Amino acid sequence: ELFTVSKDKSIHILTAEEGRLEMRFPKAHESALNCVLPIDNHIFATGDDGGAVKVWDLRRGSAILEARQQEEYISAMAVDGNGKILLTASGDGTLGIFNVKRRRFDLVSEPQNGDLTSVVLMKRGRKVACGSSEGTIYLFNWDGFGAASDRFALRAETIDCMVPITDSIVCVGSLDGVIRAVNVLPNRVLGCVGQHLGEPIEQLAVAADGKLLASSGHDQKVKFWDVSSLGTMVVDDYRRKKKKGGPLRALSSK
């Protein structure tokens, strides 16, 4: 199934093969919708420009959890492997935590510098990484969402989107059009996967086997990158070879 959300506040669910409309929720939120995340075969979550989060059950055809605990737009969402804990990144710089199974809001982190634009799980779910509009990755411990445990500033103007490639390596899309591969703990920029020639990166997605990365940017192009080498990269070996202040190492080709 394909889930879509739009500025007209509606949710559409279509068949992926035929594009046939299966279900529609008109005026699902009070504000324009910004993101959607399927959680399991029946449950999905949505976030809007006003900071509201809803969790929906397709069997009921309605929302089973509604909350507005963040002050700005919901930019991205992630869920743990059990489909129990929902994480929401917000433009107010906070990370929201919701318990899907118990249908409740748990807590919101202290605000970080800049908008939080992305959220992913790393280190087999023990760490949560959030990208920010200031070009910094904030790390949270799974059992300590109130405050960031670590931060890593990239040589990037912004972090607009992130996708994990391995348990320790994430690819980051930025305003400068460069896709960077970043290792988490130890925190290190490994190199450049590719770029959209100065056009901001809108979205990143990785194939199920982790070997192919897709990127889309303001240049209206979708590009594909071979990132299979990242799975075998030895971070310490690369660190010894790196020249301080030099250009990013090229890690892939189209």
The per-residue pLDDT for range 85-113, each reduced to its tens digit, is: 999 999 999 999 999 999 999 999 999 99
Distance CA 118, CA 134 (A): 12
Does residue 129 belong to any structural domain of this protein?
A: no
Same domain membership, residue 1 and residue 106: yes
CB 112 within 8 A of CB 132: yes
Q: What is the CATH number of the domain that holds 34?
A: 2.130.10.10
Residue 95 and residue 5 share a domain: yes
Give the C-alpha distances (Å, rounded to integers) separating 149 from 116, 128, 129, 138, 146: 15, 10, 10, 8, 9
Asked whether residue 200 is assigned to any structural domain, the reply reads: yes
The reply to whether 98 and 11 lie within a common domain is: yes
Q: Are residues 15 and 101 in the same domain?
A: yes
pLDDT at 253 over 60: no
Structural domain tally of the chain? 2
pTM comes to: 0.91
pLDDT bin (cut points 50, 70, 90) of residue 237 is very low
38-55 CB burial, b ≥16 within 10 A, e <16 = bbeeebbbbbbbbbbbbb
If one counts every other C-beta atom within 10 angstroms of the C-beta of residue 80, the result is: 15
Question: Is 41:14 a contact under the CB 8 Å cutoff?
Answer: no
Is 74's pLDDT higher than 50? yes
Select from 112, 143, 170 the last residue of a domain.
Answer: 112
In a domain? residue 195: yes
Task: Give a yes or no: residue 121 inside a domain.
Answer: no
Please indicate, yes or no, if residue 145 is contained in any of the structural domains.
no
Q: Is residue 89 domain-shared with residue 184, that is, in the same domain?
A: no
**Domain containing 47: what range?**
1-112
Domain assignment present for residue 142? The answer is no
Mean pLDDT confidence for 232-240: 68
Specify the higher pLDDT residue, 129 or 157: 129
- Within-domain flag for 161: yes
- CA separation for the pair 201, 205 (Å, rounded): 12
Domain boundary (83, 112, 141) is at 112
Report if residue 168 sits inside a domain: yes
Same domain, 26 and 82: yes
Could you tell me if 103 and 174 lie in one domain?
no
Q: Are residues 184 and 251 both part of a single domain?
A: yes
